[in-house]
Chain A
């Protein structure tokens, strides 16, 4: 079956530091890959996505590239802000409108 594995947190960083959150997946076929973010007290929001190999998703300074050869979709941001403190979830979906399989989530805390 499908599965998503992401690095455990919490990850604590100073402002302007570089952030990487690793995500690898197992799936048959060619899933779409997503990063969702959950800010404190809020629901999940789509951060970025990629629908095929070598696609790069980007939003709000975050980037992730769909690597089929390594089955990975690592999230990166070059300079984090305190407002980036949140829980980040990597997920995969097999088709439009289909259910998502989530990774365990990574809590990120950015200190001033």
Chain B
């Protein structure tokens, strides 16, 4: 089946720095990718929809200037957490829908971000 990868799988950074997380579709093209945030023992919260070649669509309450999304190609979307703070520590997950027109989505393994 289709594979979505994320890099890095985990990252620790100091407060005030920026961190970039990559999401790649390895064997298929994805014009759309979704970014989720998962808090410990909680569900996934959709943060934004990444659109290839255009601006991302952010969910209500998500700061677009803090969580920068760039979908530069049909296989890569990046999420940059700018000026990270401890409250940004979380598990970030991306997904890409099946371009064949089904409603299946493929999820990356997630990136655990810890901000000290």
Tell me how far the C-beta of B97 lies from the nearest C-beta in chain A, rounded to whole angstroms: 4
Residues of A59-112 contacting chain B, CB below 8 A:
89, 93, 95-105, 107
Give the interface size bracket for A toward B. Answer: 20 to 34
Q: When chains A and B are docked, how far (Å) is the Cα of A107 from the Cα of B42?
A: 10
* Distance between Cα atoms of A110 and B43 in the complex (Å): 21
A89 touches B103 (CB 8 A): no
A43, CB-defined interface residue at 8 Å: yes
Q: Which residue of chain B has its CB nearest to the CB of A33?
A: B103
Interface centre among A36, A51, A102 (most CB of B within 10 A): A102
Residue of B with least CB distance to A41: B109
Number of A-B pairs, beta carbon distance below 8 Å: 56
Q: Distance (Å) between the CB of A110 and the closest chain B CB?
A: 18
Q: How far is the CB of A73 from chain B (nearest CB, A)?
A: 14
| Interface residues of chain A: helix, strand, loop or mixed (majority) | strand
Query: With A and B bound together, what is the CA distance between A49 and B98 in angstroms?
Result: 14
Are A104 and B43 in contact (CB-based, < 8 A)? Answer: yes
* Contact status A104-B32, CB under 8 Å: no
Bound: A97/B81 CA distance, A: 25
Chain A nearest CB from B106 CB (Å) reads 8
B107 within 8 A of A: yes
A105 to B43, Cβ gap below 8 A? Answer: yes
Tell me whether A32 and B103 are in contact (CB under 8 A). Answer: yes
- Are the C-beta atoms of B43 and A95 separated by less than 8 Å? no
Residues of B within 8 A of A97 (CB): 32, 97-99, 101, 103, 105
Residues of A within 8 A of B (CB): 32, 34, 36, 42-46, 49, 51, 89, 93, 95-105, 107
